[in-house]
């Protein structure tokens, strides 16, 4: 389980993910771990990379939704969510789960390991009971392959974070946020 506060001698894992998306070129990113240690102080973690996007590569997989939002803290609204993937290419695609945090999820499962052209598959995700009252943002990385290309994409799974889209829709329509009722 990822911790937000650590005692002396305690430890936790930190997951850093950067997705290039459709951007190419040299990129550098950093993150800061804040401490109250008077000797060590804050710790900066930096990484650099060079990415490129081949001109003829396009992800031919429609994923909906791209964020699995398990809702606000303190409410047991959703314990299991799914996302749907549709193969938009003319070739069969193989699907695989290549990474996910096991401490939060009881089940992360694909309905199929292959998708024929114009067909769909689902990814089902169920929270562990211990995770239902925790605030988190975690990633689930999937891979789709056809004869010539391998695509990797990341889905966000979260609990306790308000969706920016829902907040924008609520503010533009004059509705209150769910926790303001």
> Tell me: the pLDDT tens digits for 76-103?
667 889 999 999 888 899 999 998 877 7
CATH number, domain of 72, equals 2.60.40.10
Per the domain annotation, does 173 fall within a domain?
no
Q: Which of 31, 53, 75 is the last residue of a domain?
A: 53
Compare 181 and 91 and report the one with higher pLDDT. Answer: 91
Examine the domain organization and report whether 42 and 126 are in the same domain: no
Examine the domain organization and report whether 32 and 4 are in the same domain: yes
Q: Cα-flanking dihedrals φ and ψ of residue 36, to 5°?
A: -105, 15
Per the domain annotation, does 177 fall within a domain?
no
Examine the domain organization and report whether 66 and 153 are in the same domain: yes
Cis previous bond, 65, omega within 30: yes
Examine the domain organization and report whether 49 and 65 are in the same domain: no
Per the domain annotation, does 175 fall within a domain?
no
Predicted confidence band of residue 74 (pLDDT cuts 50, 70, 90)? confident
Examine the domain organization and report whether 70 and 150 are in the same domain: yes
157/142 Cα distance (integer angstroms): 13
5/97 Cα distance (integer angstroms): 30
Looking at residue 96, what is its pLDDT?
93
Examine the domain organization and report whether 88 and 163 are in the same domain: yes
Compare 8 and 170 and report the one with higher pLDDT. Answer: 8
Considering 6-15, 58-67, 90-99, 141-150, the range whose residues carry the highest mean pLDDT is 90-99
Examine the domain organization and report whether 71 and 35 are in the same domain: no
Looking at residue 122, what is its pLDDT?
95
Predicted confidence band of residue 21 (pLDDT cuts 50, 70, 90)? low
Those residues whose C-beta lies under 8 Å from the C-beta of residue 151, and which sit 6 or more positions away, are 59, 61, 143, 144, 145
Quote the domain boundaries for residue 154: 61-167
Looking at residue 174, what is its pLDDT?
57
Per the domain annotation, does 44 fall within a domain?
yes
Per the domain annotation, does 147 fall within a domain?
yes
pTM of the model as a whole: 0.60
Q: Taking phi first (over 0 means left), then psi (-120 to 50 degrees means alpha), and beta for anything else, what does residue 158 get? A: beta
């Amino acid at each position: 389980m990822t911790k937000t506060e650590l005692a002396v001698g305690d430890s936790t894992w930190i997951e850093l993910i950067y997705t290039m998306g459709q951007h190419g070129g040299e990129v550098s990113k950093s993150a800061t771990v804040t401490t109250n240690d008077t000797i060590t102080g804050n710790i900066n973690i930096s990484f650099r990379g060079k990415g490129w996007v081949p001109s003829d590569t396009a992800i031919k997989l429609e994923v909906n939704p791209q964020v699995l939002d398990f809702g606000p803290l303190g409410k047991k609204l959703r314990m299991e969510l799914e996302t749907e993937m549709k193969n938009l290419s003319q070739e069969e695609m193989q699907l695989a789960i290549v990474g996910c945090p096991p401490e939060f999820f009881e089940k992360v499962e694909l309905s199929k390991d292959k998708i024929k052209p114009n067909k769909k598959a689902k990814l089902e995700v169920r929270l562990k009971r211990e995770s239902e009252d925790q605030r988190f943002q975690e990633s689930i990385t999937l891979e789709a392959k056809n004869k010539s290309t391998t695509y990797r994409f990341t889905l966000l799974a979260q609990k306790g974070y308000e969706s920016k889209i829902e907040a924008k829709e609520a503010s533009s329509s004059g509705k209150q946020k769910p926790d303001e009722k």
